[in-house]
Amino acid sequence: MVGNPNVGKTSLFNRLTGQHARVGNYPGITVERRVGTLKLPTLGAPSELVDVPGCYSLSSRSPEEQIALKSVLGFDGFPIPDLVVCVVDAGQLTRNLYLALQVAEFRVPLLIVINMIDEVRDNSIDAAQVGEVFGVPCVPVSARTGFGFDALRTAISQALKSPPWPKLQPRYPDALMRTIDQVADAFPPGWRRNVEHDRALALWALTSIEDDDELEGIPPEARERVLGVHRETSGTAMDEAVITARYALLDDLEPRFFGKVPDAHERLSATKRIDQVLLHPVFGFAIFIVLMLLMFQSLFAWSDPAISLIESAFGALAGLVTEFLPANSFRDLLTEGVIGGVGNVVVFLPQILLLFLFIGVLEDSGYMARVAYLMDRIMRVLGLHGRAFVPMLSGFACAVPAILATRTMERQRDRLLTMLVVPLMTCSARLPVYTLIIAALFPPTNIFGALPVQGLLMVGMYVFSMLVSLIAAWVLGRTVVKGKSIPLILELPPYRLPRISTTLSMMWQRAASFLREAGSVILVCTIVLWALLSFPKPSEATPTRAADSVQQVVDRHAAATAIEQSYGGQLGKLLEPAIAPLGFDWKIGVGIIGAFAAREVFVSTMGLVYGIGDVGDDDTPLREKIKRETRSDGSPVYSPLTGLSLMIFFALACQCISTLSVVRRETRSWRWPMFLFGYMTLLAYAASFVVYQGGRLLGF
């Protein structure tokens, strides 16, 4: 199924395939691939429907853009389709039919579906005429109301049994036809099928191939021939000749498609009126800011109770296991490794689900494009695209769903740049670390009489992370993730009421695919970290029973020693000379290692290291311990300067396996997560170093 973006393909797809759909990826490419099965009347076996990402044309410059072509023709490992369903929008018929015309030129079995027929009043479109002009079946439907779906299913099953071959061909100038035949000859036999197909392929090559394109799998002779042609007639002139010929044909035929003369502005009028408010320079912007704040606030407020619920559920589960199994390493593996690991994954679900829900509503209603429009100017200063705004904003809650949200961006390069910068935003997991440090090491006083030091510091950390991410975006965009940024050319679709069932099902499908793939990595890493901090076990101390309160202290002390002697602890000691210039000691080193599983784990790991036991919500005992901790010479280990250095380290370091795992999944390679980890760690170390050593020089 192909079609322009925003024609309601997803709703149509969902209506046809119901619950039998899956979200996945195309190999080597970070584009969503939706496949579903449907049972059609009069056909025995079920059919498979593949939803091809929306596109305006088959011409391509990159592997992502080539997907539509490969899907339609069945090249390069893609199966040859038995039928191509082209979905068009009733309100923009001519422009949408441009794609259908391209498919028709290839002479593949085609069926045209005119969606959103309910939005064009007075039934002014003559679907039968459209079908007759193309020589294929044409069915008007409304995915929103369900109108026309019986006819659609029947038409599809008939088309599968008896393939409809399109007969519409634009007329190209003779000179162009000669060039087309020349290029067609340059394709090797495996690519050629019949005259029309070969010509269409040549046309595609002439309007796609360039010196610096990123196309994959083009036969070298064909590429050479096309580049040769371009040396005589420029690629641009070729594009213009071909595209204007196609539109000339469509514009000529247009009067036949409309039974009655429709009012072009009827459908757009409601949208226009809404946009006069929502895109108003002042009010529109204000409304936008309010909406974003609300969205962001709900993301926190609504997910918090769910997160606590999940945490207590898993805590209870661990408690159960602790009760029923004998105390040994296996039990610990289960509780802290497996249950802890799965918990670490599931705990992301509330925020992911909510974020996908919001994004789904924004996209389906059409407002998302307006967000990109309003923010483009600002985002562009950073070398980012307007569409990067929502993912960046989501990064304030959690980088994981934010990175998943970059899928709304078309171009790989923009998506990658956004993914590399989002982890620098102050996510909610850093807050417990900041809270602990600020409360332990900075006085609850005011400076300048009125401004609380502690509050200012917190705000300062947010501002700091925003500044660094802006600078990082600017730098990375010019160096590592260089590339022509695409022009904006954003379509602002008409406002539509999203279909709840479609939005919800997309949300579930995306969340499920996250759980499947990122989840396994996070689980494994949690187990590994647990092992590092639990082994080797210290030799069993002789059990002398003491009074309960004393026993508790003894137990905690034993636990602290156990950590010190574990591999993790040894690693911490190994790290100590490296992190000493930042003002850290080995205990903080262990905390940092533990924080890789999840940043909040820093607090609980520190609790263990200091023999506090379960830190939980009340970290006062830990704070006290940190304040009073002294070195052998009596000087305090932790000073406000150390605290600042530590916070800055946390602000910039990539201490989140979940983030790395999601980036790996989204970029389909190890290179980018490693780069992300590397550059952020370097940045964190450098900043921390400057702050600590600079502070010492200044006498703090």
Partner 1 sequence: MTLAQSRVGDVVAIEAVEGDRSFRRRLLELGLVPGTQITFLGVAPLGDPLQLTVRGCKLSIRRSEALQIRVRLTEELRAPASLVPGATVSA
Contact set with partner 1 (CB under 8 A): 56-57, 59, 61, 91-95, 98, 207, 210, 235-236, 239-240, 243-244, 247, 251, 254-255, 258, 261-265, 267-268, 271-272, 275, 279, 281-282, 284-285, 369, 373-374, 376-378, 380, 386, 486-494
At a CB cut-off of 8 Å and minimum separation 6, what does 172 contact? 180, 241, 242, 245
For partner 1, the closer of residues 389 and 672 by Cβ is 389
E strand map for 64-204:
84-89, 110-115, 138-140
- Is the separation of the CB atoms in 104 and 168 below 8 Å? yes
- Is the separation of the CB atoms in 203 and 105 below 8 Å? yes
For partner 1, the closer of residues 280 and 557 by Cβ is 280
Q: State the minimum distance, in angstroms, from the CB of residue 53 to partner 1.
A: 16
Residue 699 identity (one-letter amino acid)? G
Q: State the minimum distance, in angstroms, from the CB of residue 275 to partner 1.
A: 8
For partner 1, the closer of residues 332 and 376 by Cβ is 376
For partner 1, the closer of residues 221 and 251 by Cβ is 251
Q: State the minimum distance, in angstroms, from the CB of residue 82 to partner 1.
A: 27
Q: State the minimum distance, in angstroms, from the CB of residue 375 to partner 1.
A: 9
For partner 1, the closer of residues 486 and 527 by Cβ is 486
User: Which residues, listed in sequence order, are joined to residue 50 by a DSSP beta bridge?
Assistant: 35
Q: State the minimum distance, in angstroms, from the CB of residue 282 to partner 1.
A: 7
d(CA 299, CA 290): 14
For partner 1, the closer of residues 6 and 465 by Cβ is 6
Six token digits for residue 300:
């926190």
d(CA 96, CA 301): 42
Q: State the minimum distance, in angstroms, from the CB of residue 56 to partner 1.
A: 5
For partner 1, the closer of residues 224 and 263 by Cβ is 263
Q: State the minimum distance, in angstroms, from the CB of residue 127 to partner 1.
A: 16
Six token digits for residue 568:
């993790």
Q: What angle do CA 315, 318, 321 make, to 5 degrees?
A: 155
For partner 1, the closer of residues 270 and 541 by Cβ is 270
For partner 1, the closer of residues 486 and 521 by Cβ is 486
- Is the separation of the CB atoms in 4 and 88 below 8 Å? yes
For partner 1, the closer of residues 365 and 561 by Cβ is 365
For partner 1, the closer of residues 6 and 418 by Cβ is 6
Strand, coil or helix: 265: coil
For partner 1, the closer of residues 32 and 214 by Cβ is 214
Six token digits for residue 348:
């992301």
d(CA 307, CA 315): 12
Six token digits for residue 169:
């061909």
- Is the separation of the CB atoms in 25 and 668 below 8 Å? yes
- Is the separation of the CB atoms in 66 and 216 below 8 Å? yes
Q: State the minimum distance, in angstroms, from the CB of residue 435 to partner 1.
A: 36
């901090």: which residue's tokens? Answer: 533
Q: State the minimum distance, in angstroms, from the CB of residue 525 to partner 1.
A: 41
Q: Give yes or no for a cis peptide into 536 (omega within 30° of 0).
A: yes
Six token digits for residue 618:
């009340």
- Is the separation of the CB atoms in 225 and 186 below 8 Å? yes
Nearest to 238 by CA among 195, 268, 208, 265: 208
Q: State the minimum distance, in angstroms, from the CB of residue 117 to partner 1.
A: 15
If you ran DSSP here, which 8-state letter would residue 217 be given? S
DSSP string for 593-622 = HHTTT-TTHHHHHHHHHTT----TT--HHH
Q: State the minimum distance, in angstroms, from the CB of residue 407 to partner 1.
A: 21
Q: State the minimum distance, in angstroms, from the CB of residue 391 to partner 1.
A: 19
At a CB cut-off of 8 Å and minimum separation 6, what does 176 contact? 238, 241, 242, 245
d(CA 573, CA 585): 8
For partner 1, the closer of residues 122 and 263 by Cβ is 263
Q: State the minimum distance, in angstroms, from the CB of residue 356 to partner 1.
A: 25
For partner 1, the closer of residues 316 and 497 by Cβ is 497
DSSP string for 8-34 = SHHHHHHHHHTT-EEEEE-TTS--EEE
For partner 1, the closer of residues 289 and 546 by Cβ is 289
Q: State the minimum distance, in angstroms, from the CB of residue 184 to partner 1.
A: 21
For partner 1, the closer of residues 350 and 493 by Cβ is 493
Nearest to 389 by CA among 377, 371, 401: 371
DSSP string for 328-371 = SHHHHIIIIIIIHHHHHHHTTHHHHHHHHHHHHHHHHHTHHHHH
Q: State the minimum distance, in angstroms, from the CB of residue 673 to partner 1.
A: 30
E strand map for 370-480:
446-447, 451-452
For partner 1, the closer of residues 492 and 554 by Cβ is 492
For partner 1, the closer of residues 369 and 663 by Cβ is 369
d(CA 101, CA 86): 10
Q: State the minimum distance, in angstroms, from the CB of residue 33 to partner 1.
A: 23
Strand, coil or helix: 178: helix
From residue 186, how far is each of 22, 101, 455 by CA, in Å?
39, 24, 69
Compute the chain's Rg from CA coordinates. 30
Q: State the minimum distance, in angstroms, from the CB of residue 602 to partner 1.
A: 40
Q: State the minimum distance, in angstroms, from the CB of residue 181 to partner 1.
A: 22
At a CB cut-off of 8 Å and minimum separation 6, what does 630 contact? 636, 637
Nearest to 591 by CA among 621, 620, 560, 617: 560
